[in-house]
C-alpha cells in the first residue's frame, strides 16, 4: 500500500503512538479537536496517580506536536452522512463510539484517510472514507 501524504490519526493511534511503526503513518499526521477533547478527559478518568501522570504527559505532547483540525460546519454535514450509514445498518452511535464517528466526519469532509487501531469500530464507513488500520 502506498503511503498517504496526509491523514487523520484517531485517538487510539495517538494513545499508542510510541508503539506504532512510523512507516505505517502518513507523512503528515493530523489530529482533530475531538481527539484533543478525549485526551484532555484522560487524566481526569485515570484510576491511579501514575496513570494520571502518563495521560497528562500524553496530552501535553499532543498539544505541543499538533494543531487540531476543528469540527466545523462541513464536518457537521458529513456527520449526517455517517449517521445515516450507521443507522441504515440498524445501529445508533452512542458513547465513545459516537466520538469516533465525529472524528470520521472530519476525515470525510476533508477527504482524508482515517488511521485507527480500532478499525472494526468504523468498518461500516469503508465506502465513505479510506480507513487505515495500524
Span 63-119, pLDDT tens digits: 999 999 999 999 999 999 999 998 888 777 776 688 999 999 999 999 999 999 988
Encode pLDDT of 104-129 as tens digits.
999 999 999 999 998 888 888 988 99
State the Cα–Cα distance between residues 66 and 86, nearest whole angstrom: 30
CB neighbours (10 Å) of residue 102?
20
φ, ψ for residue 131 (rounded to 5)? -105, 130
pTM of the predicted model as reported, rounded to 2 decimal places: 0.92
Strand, coil or helix: what is 62?
A: helix
As a CATH number, domain 6-133 is 3.40.50.1010
CB atoms under 10 Å from CB of 26, counted, come to 17
Determine the Cα–Cα distance for residues 72 and 80; give it in Å rounded to an integer: 13
Q: What angle do CA 27, 126, 41 make, to 5 degrees?
A: 65
Amino acid at each position: 500500500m502506498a503511503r498517504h501524504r496526509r491523514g487523520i490519526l484517531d485517538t487510539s493511534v495517538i494513545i499508542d503512538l510510541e508503539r506504532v511503526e512510523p512507516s505505517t503513518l502518513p507523512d503528515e499526521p493530523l489530529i482533530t479537536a475531538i481527539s484533543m477533547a478525549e485526551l484532555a478527559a484522560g487524566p481526569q478518568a485515570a484510576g491511579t496517580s501514575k496513570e494520571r501522570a502518563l495521560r497528562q504527559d500524553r496530552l501535553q505532547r499532543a498539544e505541543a506536536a499538533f494543531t487540531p483540525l476543528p469540527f466545523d460546519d462541513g464536518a457537521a454535514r458529513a456527520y449526517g452522512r455517517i449517521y445515516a450509514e450507521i443507522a441504515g445498518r440498524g445501529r445508533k452511535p452512542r458513547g465513545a463510539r459516537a466520538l469516533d464517528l465525529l472524528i470520521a466526519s472530519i476525515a470525510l469532509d476533508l477527504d482524508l484517510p482515517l488511521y485507527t487501531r480500532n478499525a472494526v469500530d468504523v468498518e461500516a464507513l469503508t465506502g465513505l472514507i479510506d480507513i487505515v488500520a495500524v
